[in-house]
Amino acid sequence: MASRDVVVYKTPLSRIWNIFTVVFIAFYLLWTLLPLMIMFFSSFKDLLAAFQLPPVGAFSKIGLFFDFTPTTKHYYNLFVNLGFTTYFFNSIVAAGGSAIISVVLGSMCAYALSRYDFRGKPDLFFWIISTRMAPVVAVLVPLYAIFRGADLIGTKAGLILAFTTFNLPFAIWILKGFFDNVPYAIEEASMVDGSTRFQAFRAILPLVAPGIGAFVILCILFAWNDFLFSSIIGSGGAKTLPPATVELVQPQNIQWGSIMAAGVVTTLPMMFLGLLIRRYLVTGLTMGAVRE
Amino acid sequence: MASVTITNVWKYYGKTVAVKDLNITCNDGEFVSVLGPSGCGKSSTLRMLAGLEHISAGDIHFGDTRVNDLEPKDRDIAMVFENYALYPHKTVYENMANPLRLRNESEETIKKRIAFAAEMLEIEHLLQRKPMELSGGQKQRTAIGRAIVREPKLFLFDEPIAHLDAKLRARMRGELKIMQRRLGTTMIYVTHDQLEAMSMADRIAVMNNGVLQQFGTPQEIYNHPVNEWVAGFVGEPPMNFIDCDLIEEGGSFYAVHSAFKVAVPSDQAVKLRGALKSSGVRMGIRPDQLAISLGQDGAAKGSIKITEPLGGDTLVDVDLKGANHVLVKTDADFRGQMNDPCSLNFDTSRWHFFSKETGVAYF
């Protein structure tokens, strides 16, 4: 196999470009991480400390940001007084449930679309992805009416179903690409070895694991971050973290400390999840596109 | 173990005909090779045998069982794929164990069978590796191992050694033949390499454009091809074809070309009588059935176009008068140079005549 290194020859221009790249990345990191950092520290400060700001331009006073006595009272408030334990649990159930359902149904459907030829397949395929083309807002009202009729408003099952309607087409679309890249011969070998079509499908699942991993992450992210579905369909019995956080903004009192803590609580699990399947995510999102 | 009977089998892909009215009977324990160029329907045939493709028309029987509607798993076959089709995430051991696991064999049996197969294929030291860490030949052995751990009725091999390098291919040819003899299992082996078919098979089915051309032993195929296509496809270097006229003079037949006039032996003349009326015949003769000499005293006169010394022998491309290039296989010590005049003698007992229109062999 040939070396995969890209051969680059240094020119004065490339040196300037390199410096520019580093500067750009530094600014970008600052831009991305600073708000997260402020959120993280503020969640441990009491309100007075949180609003202690150095004068504009006084960089020597930057230490003021870190000059506080850490307190966990906002977290305590969140989980004990404001019922965030339930919301957190709701978020996990809704995101996880829809991810699992989407991945199970989606991989089976994607496999079928990848392997079988039937009349109208391109149309069916386009129809599946076209359900994702309309913005959520456009379908929300009819969806609400349907869910209302089915008595699914404010239930976790309803929320899972709502997320699944949006995640499933996406799952099929992504996973079909992965199945297309798995040689037929492997499942044929499996069938000749004595497995049924379904066992053969299961035998090649490990080969699309990167795709499934990537999809699960995207699916959970969508459900976790979603505000519209959760506030309208999940309102009441199945409130998730984002609408619960919004409720902390009250006309007479914006509970900044609790909002910051809720932000941390919402962000951290996704960060860990990202780290956990980072490897899959990278190979997953590129593998579908590259023929080996 | 079982015999295989393919009766009037057709395969269509949409409107394209891949296999046309195929009839092959393969005896129990026989090694049958299906030979043909790419797109000739040989792989479709094999896949129909495996149950991976539907049979458009006709019947396939294993022994007395009609298998048309049986799923692959119920046919009791083992198949080796061209691209090996190993499970990339499983070790060699697990790859080989898979067919046994699917049949709920005990761990003990699995261990025993794999040990047997691994020893036969000399891959005992590779059992814990994954396919990615294997060379092409080792992958191939693993794929074969996966097929032989079970004792299936039938082996189906789909160009299993096509992607190996030449040296390893030569070695695997011998090993596969030994393996098949040792196991005694009926084997159907698809290949486009006539050398593989000739060297391994008990009988060869030669296919072209979905039609079975000839089914016979390697000797029959080589020595008595039924038509021009088979004659040209089997044999390396390929047979020479020379268009010539057939005339009758004083009771004897002569093959006449602008460069030569050669008498046809009388036993062959009988078979050629029908060809007299046609506008001409095509003579076929293999490169080693021609004798070349540098003088002008042979039957056909020409000049040397190029010589290709191969070490053991030399290939000479001869320009016959009348624009025919004729390939001759001769000794290594042949000393002809480019453009030297030369002459050829035909081994008339082993040449062939084909109809110019249909390509069918007179003999």
> What ipTM is given for this predicted complex?
0.82
Helices B136-148 and B166-183 meet at what angle, rounded to 10? Answer: 10
**Same domain? B153 vs B97:** yes
**Domain contains B337:** yes
Domain CATH number, residue B281: 2.40.50.140
Same domain, B195 and B310: no
> How far apart, in whole angstroms, are the C-alpha atoms of residue A240 and residue A93?
9
Question: B94 and B193 share a domain?
Answer: yes
Interface check A196 vs B, CB under 8 A: yes
Confidence band for B1, pLDDT divided at 50, 70 and 90 = low
Nearest C-alpha neighbor of B194 from the set B148, B144, B152, B229: B229
Q: In whole angstroms, how far apart are CA A108 and each of A67, A198, A202?
A: 55, 9, 10
Nearest to B73 among A186, A194, A203 (CB): A194
Q: Which domain holds residue B209?
A: 4-233
Task: Look at domain A74-287 and name its CATH class.
Answer: mainly alpha
Evaluated on CA atoms B179, B183, B189, B195, the torsion sign reads: positive
Query: Has residue A210 got a pLDDT over 70?
Result: yes
Structure tokens at B347: 């081994």
In a domain, residue B269? The reply is yes
A273 pLDDT band (50/70/90 cuts)?
confident
* CB within 8 Å: A185 and B89: no
- Determine the 3-state secondary structure of A244 from DSSP: helix
- The answer to whether the beta carbons of residues A216 and A277 sit under 8 Å apart is yes
Q: Rounded distance, CA B322 to CA B172, Å? A: 44
Measured CA to CA, the distance from residue B363 to residue B345 in angstroms comes to 20
Provide the H-helix boundaries in B234-325.
266-272
Distance CA B343, CA A164 (A): 82
- Interchain contact B85–A (C-beta under 8 A): yes
Return d(Cα A215, Cα A159) in angstroms, integer. Answer: 19
Contact B82 A206 (CB under 8 A): no
Q: Is B81 inside any structural domain? A: yes
Q: How confident is the model at residue A4 (pLDDT cuts 50, 70, 90)?
A: low
Q: What is the DSSP track for B56-112?
A: SEEEEEETTEE-TT--GGGS-EEEE-TT----TTS-HHHHHHHHHHHTT--HHHHHH
B201 and B346 in a single domain? The answer is: no
Q: What is the pTM of this model?
A: 0.81
- What is the domain-level CATH number for residue B199? 3.40.50.300
What is the residue extent of each domain of chain A? 12-71, 74-287
Contact B325, B316 (CB under 8 A): no
CA distance A169 to chain B (A): 28
Residue percentage of chain A with pLDDT more than 90: 25
Residues B112 and B142 in one domain: yes
B55 and B9 share a domain? yes
Same domain, B335 and B194: no
The CA-atom distances, in angstroms, between B286 and each of A89, A208, B49, B145, B347 are 82, 52, 35, 39, 9
Same domain, B148 and B221: yes
* Number of structural domains found in chain B: 2
Taking contacts as CB-CB distances below 8 angstroms, the residues of chain B near A183 are 83, 85
> Can you tell me the distance from the alpha carbon of B319 to that of B309, in angstroms, rounded to the nearest whole number?
17
Tell me: the pLDDT tens digits for B210-250?
999 999 999 999 999 999 999 999 998 999 999 888 888 88
Residue at B362 is within a domain: no
Structure tokens at A129: 């992805």
B120 and B159 in a single domain? The answer is: yes
Q: Is residue B360 part of a domain?
A: no
Q: Quickly count: other Cβ atoms within 10 Å of residue A17's Cβ.
A: 11
Q: How far apart are CA B75 and CA B61, in angstroms?
A: 10
pLDDT, one tens digit per residue, over A134-181 is 888 888 888 899 999 998 888 899 999 999 988 899 889 889 988 998
Q: In the listed set B203, B233, B263, which residue is the last one of a domain according to the structure? A: B233
Last residue of one domain, picked from the residues B233, B267, B296: B233
